[in-house]
Amino acid sequence: MKAFNNQNKAWLMTMLVLMVVTFVFSMKLGAITITWEEIQSTLSKWMSGQEMNLQERIFFQIRLPRALAGVFVGASLAVAGVLMQALFRNPIVEPGLIGTSSGAAFGASLYFVLGAVMEFNAGEWTLPLAACLGGTLSTVLVFLLAQNRSSGKSSVVALLLTGIAINALFLSGVGLLSYLARDPQARSIIFWNLGTLSGANWISISIIGAITLICLLVALRYAKPLNALMMGEDEAVFLGVNLKKLQIIIIALNVLLVAVATAFVGVISFVGLVVPHLLRLMKGSDNRFLLLGSALLGAIMLSLSDLASRLLLAPAELPIGIVTSLVGVPVFIALLRKKQYFF
């Protein structure tokens, strides 16, 4: 009997290997090139607790966290893209397009400007928390406002237009805050809207890494109901899906993934759109494969984009959000022009 069991192991293994390769390049290349010997000596000194020299400290404190940030942030944005596309039943939805990123940016800006005077303080977690709240608010707003009241389905046009409106709202909030802010705060806000991995450190990496892995594992448990949702909400319920619970969990995962990544590295758009789309072209739309594949391919793509942002203007840097937009916009427009997706 033929096995109707879609594991796509070969594809996933290939992407895993590619991810490791890009990760190695991402560790080695940059304003300063790191050699194998330096990597080895850094790791052995780290394990034995010895003092590192300058080159080794650059690798350990700056380059390695940054390379890891590329992997985790890429994975989390791409996974969030898959989840949103499945939830909205539309393959052109992307975290940046439906307000999550701008909401998170607004939450973070609020923290930058008002953080010092706020009563509330959760230490390292204050910024991600503020970004999460902003991201949740904007996503839920778009989700509710774009829904057709009779069919409960969101048309692309309604989604995109609502997304534009909510984006404009929150970005003008960000604008207002940066207008009010003093210079160092305003600079943090600007750096934020362009996105960069250069600020990665071990604390941010452990938070992003933990959130990414947990969310991916939880999301995989919902691959089946998300597949059923492709046929519409009624059909999903006929297949035993608890719709309300599914929607709440998926929105929560999305917001967590996007807002936490955005909180530490700023707004990086189009990764969540381009990565799942490439996988759909190659292997179809089974969400289990898309989630695993997107985590890997997202990590590859963002590591490559970060390499480009480090190397193109070396020793200066190009913000990574600009690199991903340059790649993402043409793909997005090509997608919009394609008839196969419903408009």
| Closest CB to another protein among residues 2, 337 | 2
Q: Looking at beta carbons only, is 225 or 266 nearer to another protein?
A: 225
As measured in angstroms, the least distance from the Cβ of 285 to another protein is 4
Residue 128: how many CB atoms within 10 A of its CB? 25
Using CA atoms, how far residue 255 sits from 55, 89, 132, 258, 287, in Å, is 38, 17, 6, 5, 18
Query: Which residue number, 189 or 241, has a Cβ lying nearer to another protein?
Result: 241
CB of 239 to another protein, least distance (A): 5
Inter-residue contact 112 to 182 (CB < 8 Å)? no
**Residue 12 buriedness (CB in 10 A; 0-12 / 13-18 / 19+):** middle
Q: Which of 221, 302, 212, 294 is nearest to 256 (CA)?
A: 212
Q: Minimum Å distance from CB 5 to another protein?
A: 6
Q: In terms of CB distance, is 288 or 310 closer to another protein?
A: 288
Q: Any bridge partners for residue 147, and if so which?
A: 154
Minimum CB distance to another protein smaller for 5 or for 48: 5
Q: How far, CA to CA in Å, does 297 sit from each of 18, 41, 53, 90?
A: 9, 30, 34, 20
Residue ranges that bind another protein, judged by CB under 8 A: 1-7, 89, 91, 220-221, 223-225, 227-228, 230-232, 234-235, 237-242, 280, 284-286, 288, 340-342
In the complex, the smallest distance separating the C-beta of residue 241 from another protein, rounded to whole angstroms, is 6
85/167 with CB nearer another protein: 85
| Cβ neighbours around 212 below 10 Å, total | 26
Q: Is the peptide bond before 65 cis (omega within 30 degrees of 0)?
A: no
Q: Which residues pair with 154 in a beta bridge?
A: 147
Is the Cβ of residue 79 or residue 131 nearer to another protein in the bound state? 79
- Sign, CA torsion 8/14/20/23: negative
CB of 265 to another protein, least distance (A): 30
Q: Token pair for residue 316?
A: 């200066």
